[in-house]
Amino acid sequence: MRDYLRTARLRWIVDRCFQFKDGDASEWTYEICVGKKVTQFAGNQKAGKTIGKTLFEWGTYKIGHDQLWANGTLTQIYGNGTGGRQTEVFFECLDQYPTVTAIEEVRESELRMWVGASMFCDFRPTNPTPPLLEALLRPLEGWCANFTTTGFWSYEYCHPDSLVQFHKDSSGDVRDPMFLLGTLHKSTPSSTFMWKTHASADFPMLRGKGAGVNTNSRPKFRFLPVQLVDFPSELNRGREEKPQQVLAMELTNGTLCDSADVQRSTRVLFECPDDFATLATHQVMKVME
């Protein structure tokens, strides 16, 4: 169980890189690529290549040295860096996107680094000061995935923006009609607009690619209307095991339904499968009208 919890907490940040600079005037930048290495460099970095003369390795990840603590904090050791440098990394609770919050050079060859992320928070009911539930879904922002039913319709969900319903012909091309089934935007954008949203530096959305998570520290939405609800009884059929509760988020302001003269809306449910720690990515499992 302990190995499962450790792997599950790291699952969505492993292999991702985060940088830290101690003030704008500092010439040094520190970078951790989780599960790989910690580096320190002067100058600029672009496309994984350091532009500048100075680069220190503060260690590569040491397998088998992870420790998971009762409050959800996890520590890792990165060793055998330049001149014997070593880093101890503390992954702690933070109600934001994963980010390096602080560093400390304990000695000339020993560094401590703190990384904050929501997956290291204690969400148990026994916690007297639990973090916001929306923090559990923050790491998914910008992720998109397609889902096709056995019938006429296909769907694309982009978290937490929108759910779009569309039809593909035999060649795989998208054809009208296209409907926006709900969004977090206060005004109603068209379904075509949502579909054609292009990637940007602040929100690298990759439509239909199943990727494109927001690696920027600024969230697109300041608040996510997330609730903890009982698992719907209508979804029980054919399932041997089911979660007791799931997270739910309401999407509204969809395309107007002419027959009922109301705007379309969707309730998105998030559950944690048993094999979460080994999943390659998030998945859309079911769409029901």
Average pLDDT over residues 243-256: 86
Rounded to whole angstroms, the Cα distance separating 248 from 266 reads 10
DSSP-assigned beta bridge partners for residue 180:
164
- Output the domain CATH number for residue 210: 2.70.130.10
Does any domain span residue 289?
no
Does any domain span residue 284?
no
Query: At residue 193, does pLDDT exceed 70?
Result: no
Rounded to whole angstroms, the Cα distance separating 269 from 35 reads 30
Q: For residue 177, which amino acid is it?
A: P
Q: Identify whether residues 205 and 265 lie together within a single domain.
A: yes
Q: What is the predicted pLDDT for the residue at 194?
A: 53
Q: Identify whether residues 266 and 148 lie together within a single domain.
A: yes
Average pLDDT over residues 49-56: 62
Supply the range of the domain harboring residue 209.
138-187+194-279
Q: Identify whether residues 120 and 147 lie together within a single domain.
A: no
DSSP character string of 48-81: TEEESS-EEEEEEE-TT--EE-TTS-EEEEEES-
Q: Identify whether residues 120 and 143 lie together within a single domain.
A: no
Q: What is the predicted pLDDT for the residue at 236?
A: 66
Does any domain span residue 130?
no
Strands 74-79 and 86-93: antiparallel
Q: Identify whether residues 2 and 79 lie together within a single domain.
A: yes
Place of tokens 């040094």: 28
Q: Identify whether residues 152 and 233 lie together within a single domain.
A: yes
Query: At residue 70, does pLDDT exceed 90?
Result: no
Does any domain span residue 173?
yes
Q: Give the 3-state secondary structure percentages of the chain, helix then strand then coil, rounded to 5.
A: 10, 40, 50
pLDDT more than 70, % of the chain: 76
CA 139-65-282 angle, to 5 degrees, is 25
Q: Identify whether residues 145 and 235 lie together within a single domain.
A: yes
Query: At residue 44, does pLDDT exceed 80?
Result: no
Rounded to whole angstroms, the Cα distance separating 191 from 263 reads 13
Average pLDDT over residues 206-234: 63
Q: Identify whether residues 97 and 175 lie together within a single domain.
A: no
Please answer whether residues 143 and 12 qualify as being in contact, where contact means their C-beta atoms are separated by less than 8 angstroms.
no
Cα maximum dimension of the chain? 72
Instruction: Please name which of 110, 92, 109 lies closest in space to residue 101, comparing C-alpha atoms.
Output: 92
pLDDT tens digits along 115-131: 998 888 887 778 787 77
Q: What is the predicted pLDDT for the residue at 50?
A: 53
More confidently predicted of 259 and 279? 259
Q: Identify whether residues 157 and 93 lie together within a single domain.
A: no
Q: Quick check: pTM over 0.75?
A: no
Domains contained in the chain, number: 2
Does any domain span residue 49?
yes
**Element holding 163 (H helix, E strand):** strand 162-168
Query: At residue 272, does pLDDT exceed 90?
Result: no
Q: Identify whether residues 142 and 120 lie together within a single domain.
A: no
Q: What is the predicted pLDDT for the residue at 217?
A: 47
Work out the mean pLDDT of the chain and round it to a whole number.
Answer: 78
Q: Identify whether residues 96 and 154 lie together within a single domain.
A: no
Q: What is the predicted pLDDT for the residue at 131?
A: 77
Written as six digits, the tokens of 45 are 């970095």
